Amino acid sequence: MSGRDPKRIDPDTIAALIRRTAEECILPRFQRLASHEVREKSPGNLVTAADVDAEHMLSRLLADTLPGAAVIGEEAAAHDAAILARLAEHEQVWIIDPVDGTHQFAHGKPEFAVIVALVARGVVRAGWIHDPLRNTTVAAEAGAGTWLLGAVAGPVRLQVAPAPPLGMARGVLLGKLASGARASDVAGARFTVGPISFVRSAGQIYLRLVERRLDYAFFTRALPWDHAAGWLIHAEAGGYGRFLDGAPYSPSRHVGPILFAPDREMWRAIAGILARG
């Protein structure tokens, strides 16, 4: 990721801040959480001390890196939904998901990630997804590609896999369609598909898409801390993602299912089937 304008945020610097936060706030608690460090913020929706501490640390570090930028953290927004209005009120906004996949993290399972996005004037300009257990970070800048950072030989550019035949496509289908049917059930009934995985971390799903371990993904939740960074990472790796109604992704839109595929043709094939579900 060379040749950047020196006035722009350095992706490696932000990746280092995310890694530092994971090392200090998240990893020491993995599989070591005390009972008082886990609670429900809503029925079935967990939050841990690691989520809270990591969000506080990242919020401070990112604010220092880009003075004047607003910060939207998942945990802060859980207490005050009005915080989401900062996307429209501020020119630059950091969006943070401190522990994406809290349920798995709280139960000592490895499928979790840290997600950070930078939004400028309502447009996603950069995104980072960090896997603390593998100590790997994937980052993207608008117009500059998607990169695996921290490799010994230097940054490695990532590309989504070419679209396979539909019957061989590997995917994740989360949530229910407007009819109430599960998306995975509709897909399995209406066309032959490859293996359908169940992954409860959006960050881990996006990593699998650009690491060529998945071909498509469908989500019914559209909250920006789950998808802003991942959408850009997937798009800059050559993928095609839209809301199921065909509208382009926007971090300001929080309602409506989202589908990601290797290209427009596969997106249309899968979207057509799910839209009739």
Express each pLDDT in 133-188 by its tens digit: 999 999 999 999 999 997 667 789 999 999 999 889 999 888 878 777 887 877 77
Domain with residue 60: its CATH number is 3.30.540.10
| Structural domain for 180, as ranges | 166-275
Cβ count within 10 A of residue 255? 9
Residue 4: inside a domain: no
Most confident of 84-98, 240-254, 263-277: 240-254
The answer to whether residues 152 and 193 belong to one domain is no
Residue 6 lies inside a defined structural domain of this protein: no
Query: How much is the average pLDDT of 184-194?
Result: 70
Pair (22, 153) in one structural domain? yes
The position carrying tokens 């490799």 is 151
Is the domain of 146 the same as that of 253?
Answer: no
CB 230 within 8 A of CB 202: yes
Contact between 14 and 116 (Cβ < 8 Å): yes
Has residue 1 been placed in a domain? no
pLDDT score recorded for residue 100: 96
CATH code, domain with 206: 3.40.190.80
Q: Do 45 and 130 belong together in one domain?
A: yes
Query: What's the mean pLDDT in 208-225?
Result: 95
Which of 158, 180, 215 is the endpoint of a domain? 158
* CA–CA dist 35, 136 (Å, integer): 29
Phi-psi region of 121 (alpha: psi -120 to 50; beta: other; left: phi over 0): left
CA distances from 258 to 76, 141, 240 (A): 24, 21, 11
Residue 32 pLDDT class (50, 70, 90 cuts): very high
Average pLDDT along the chain: 90
Q: Tell me: do 31 and 82 sit in the same domain.
A: yes
pLDDT > 90 in the chain, percent: 71
Domain ends where: 130, 158, 186? Answer: 158
Q: Are residues 96 and 115 in the same domain?
A: yes
Q: Are residues 187 and 154 part of one domain?
A: no
Q: Could you read off the pLDDT of 80-122 as tens digits, one per residue?
A: 888 888 888 889 999 999 999 999 999 999 999 999 999 999 9
**Strand 196-197 to strand 171-173: parallel, antiparallel, or no bridges (unpaired)?**
parallel
41-69 pLDDT, tens digit per residue, is: 888 788 999 999 999 999 999 999 999 99
Is pLDDT of 2 > 80? no
- Which of 7-16, 182-191, 235-244 is most confident? 235-244
Residue 79 lies in a domain: yes
> Are 152 and 22 contained in the same domain?
yes
Map 259-272 to HEC letters. EEECCHHHHHHHHH
Q: How many CB atoms lie within 10 A of CB 131?
A: 19
- pLDDT top residue among 235 and 150: 235
Domain count, the chain: 2
Give yes or no: residues 35 and 151 share one domain.
yes
Residues 152 and 42 in one domain: yes
Task: Provide mean pLDDT across the span 63-80.
Answer: 91
Q: What's the pLDDT score for residue 187?
A: 74
125 and 109 part of one domain: yes
pTM value is: 0.92
Q: Given the structure tokens 């230097």, which residue do they identify? A: 154
Is residue 3 a part of any domain in this protein? Answer: no
Residue finishing a domain among 140, 158, 176: 158
Q: pLDDT tier at 192 (50, 70, 90 boundaries)? A: low
Let me know if residue 61 belongs to a domain.
yes
Question: Does the pLDDT of residue 223 top 80, yes or no?
Answer: yes
Residue 207 lies in a domain: yes
Is 267 found in the same domain as 139?
Answer: no
Widest CA span in the chain:
52
- Kindly state whether residue 5 falls inside one of the protein's structural domains: no
User: How confident is the model over 216-245, as a mean pLDDT?
Assistant: 96
